Amino acid sequence: MRNDVLKVAVVEADRDRALMIVDSLREAGDHDVTVVGDAARLSRCLAEISPDVVLIDISNPDRDALEEMALASGPTQRPVAMFVDQSDSMTTRAAIEAGVSAYVVDGLRKDRIKPIIDAAIARFKMFARMRVELETTKAALAERKVIDRAKGILMKAKGLSEDEAYALLRRTAMDQSRKVADVARALVTTADLLG
Amino acid sequence: MNRDRIDCGFIPLVDCAPLVVARELGFATEEGLDLHLHAQPSWSAIRDQLAFGGLDAAHFLSVLPVAMSIGLGAASAKIDALSVLSVNGDVIGVAPDLAARMLNTGIARTNDQAVAVGRALVDAARSPLRIGVPFPFSMHAELLYYWLSTLGLEAPRDLDVRTVPPPRMADAIAANEIDAFCVGEPWGSVAVDQGAAEIVLPGSAIWQFAPEKVLAVRHDWAEENRSTALRLIRAVWRAARWLSEEDNRMTVSDLLAQPKYLDRPTDLIDRALSGRLVLAQHGRPVHLPGFLEFFDCAATFPWRSQAIWMASRWAARTGIDRSEAVAAARSCFRADLYREAMQPIGADVPGASEKVEGALDVRTEVASAKGEMFLGPDRFFDGTVFDPHAG
């Protein structure tokens, strides 16, 4: 039976991310996919599942625990090698850049693993893009807030309207070749110190 | 001026200090290096990034280049150790209830004798003893296997060594997943302050002069960028000399405490740097001489005999061919590059690249290029003397 369907373990604590990985693996073929969410139970879970492939975020600190599996050499234990076939350094590099690491049981044929790794790489690339977008949005929000506070300070101190306050901030920024948000931040810091 | 860029990974630990000082105090710049430091989430991550070219250099577990050269572990690449970044600095901590049972066996809390503490631990522990280490290929694991197997605990029957990431060590012992740990600072002290563990022994009580972290690069990188590699060795050597001066200690603590490095309180970091550790929650600091060494007694020299010691331990434990393992280990500790790097600045270097390990009781003058070199006490707890040339 196990010759037909590969057992894949996905180590991921975030439920949404885990589900997205599982979905993309399903699209890549018929696999028996299990999600391990609890880092503390990692070793025990993997021993129970006995997966052919383990997928884990490269920046997950619990990844070090998987190294023990690479040492397993007893007759009942299944040695696990890092990544794809060692000769396939392109895929390995692509995986690292995408932020996913894969542990694969020794002796598995490359063509059987490749679709799984490729699907994981695509999915993790999307995660990376989402992370950048989220950080950009957060940064924009933070700038918005500090500019609003600076406008408020100017309106109160100089009796300006909101539009006039913003115009003053923008003019100052242009004069000093700085970003509006930087001028606003300086003003807010100064006001905090004096206040 | 054009400077050579080096991307160097580190794990947030007190013993990454030479790299931080090399960057922050300008020792790298003086050698024409643009040194960028990147915090890494785990030892496997830093190893993979180094192996596959995402990093040029790394703060590395001393045992890891040796293990990789023998072909142990999940990723393989030829990694060289250019110099030693730190000697000693690990602590062994046990859960408070186990510490209490050990005290009942009649052992003094400040006793730093590895045999006495080890016997108390063996008597008080339930079998198998579950111990957390940061990584399977580490001095932490080597010291534990050496210490406890000598005292009669046999792995895996009596001893269950598990990998736990250092930031999770305190939680793991609090949750009763492990009974004890061996970890680098500040993580032992973090567990003590949380009341999750008590420190019962410094690693230096098992081996008085154990190389803990090394400056690692890919073998190919060192060959292709020889001049850069030599300058990196010098920059980090100067940083180590500066940071080992007592007057600079508080500055080092402050540098390391920054969010981009350890992001931990200064006083917590200073415990390891001063060798004054708090062993149990709310306890008074206890001075542990030689707790962590960056520079003195040729601490930065990559002794090939130490790499051979590690390879011999692995060979004995796993049954791999000893002579092959020893040959691989010897070649990855780059005493040759280290000598070449020191030559233009006239720094003293040892006459030999291999020595008998565990033979010195006291600070001893040794043969060196300029005749100004001392080596420190380097005894193993059981009195073993390791001759790298003995079969």
Q: Higher pLDDT residue, A79 or A119?
A: A119
Residue B98 reports pLDDT greater than 90: yes
Instruction: Single out the residue of B146, B119, B102, B106 nearest to residue B279, CA to CA.
Output: B102
Residue B122 reports pLDDT greater than 70: yes
Give the bridge partners for B365, in sequence order. B374
Q: Higher pLDDT residue, B136 or B106?
A: B136
Q: Higher pLDDT residue, B315 or B71?
A: B315
Residue A183 reports pLDDT greater than 90: yes
The per-residue pLDDT of chain B, averaged, comes to 91
B125 contacts B98 by C-beta, under 8 angstroms: yes
Mean pLDDT value across residues B23-51: 93
Mean pLDDT value across residues A140-168: 93
Rounded distance, CA B138 to CA B136, Å?
Answer: 6
Rounded distance, CA A28 to CA B211, Å?
Answer: 47
Q: At what angle do helices A110-158 and A15-27 cross, to 10 degrees?
A: 140
Would the CB atoms of B54 and A96 count as touching at under 8 Å?
Answer: yes
| Separation in Å, CA of A174 to nearest CA in chain B | 31
Q: Higher pLDDT residue, A118 or A152?
A: A152
pLDDT of residue A83: 54
Mean pLDDT value across residues A143-169: 94
pLDDT of residue A113: 74
For the stretch A34-66, pLDDT in tens is 888 887 777 777 778 778 888 888 778 777 877
For the stretch B282-316, pLDDT in tens is 999 999 989 999 999 999 999 999 999 999 998 88
Q: In the Cβ-directed half-sphere of B252, how many Cα atoms lie within 13 Å?
A: 27
The per-residue pLDDT of chain A, averaged, comes to 80
Residue A75 reports pLDDT greater than 60: no
Residue A108 reports pLDDT greater than 80: no
Structure tokens at B44: 């496997």
Rounded distance, CA B80 to CA B218, Å?
Answer: 6
pLDDT of residue B339: 95
Instruction: Single out the residue of A171, A180, A123, A172 nearest to residue A147, CA to CA.
Output: A180
Instruction: Single out the residue of B159, B161, B163 nearest to residue B149, CA to CA.
Output: B159
| Separation in Å, CA of A61 to nearest CA in chain B | 5
Would the CB atoms of B44 and A70 count as touching at under 8 Å?
Answer: no
Q: Pick the residue from chain A with its C-alpha nearest to B72.
A: A71
For the stretch B207-263, pLDDT in tens is 999 999 999 999 999 999 999 999 999 999 999 999 999 999 999 999 999 999 999
What type of residue is B38?
Answer: H
pLDDT of residue B182: 97
- Residue-by-residue DSSP string for B147-180: HHHHTT--TTTTEEEEE--GGGHHHHHHTTS-SE
| Separation in Å, CA of A122 to nearest CA in chain B | 20
pLDDT of residue A77: 47
What type of residue is B2?
Answer: N
In chain B the first and final C-alpha atoms are separated, in Å, by 52
Residue A93 reports pLDDT greater than 80: no
pLDDT of residue B43: 92
Considering only CB atoms, which chain A residues are within 8 Å of B134? Answer: 64
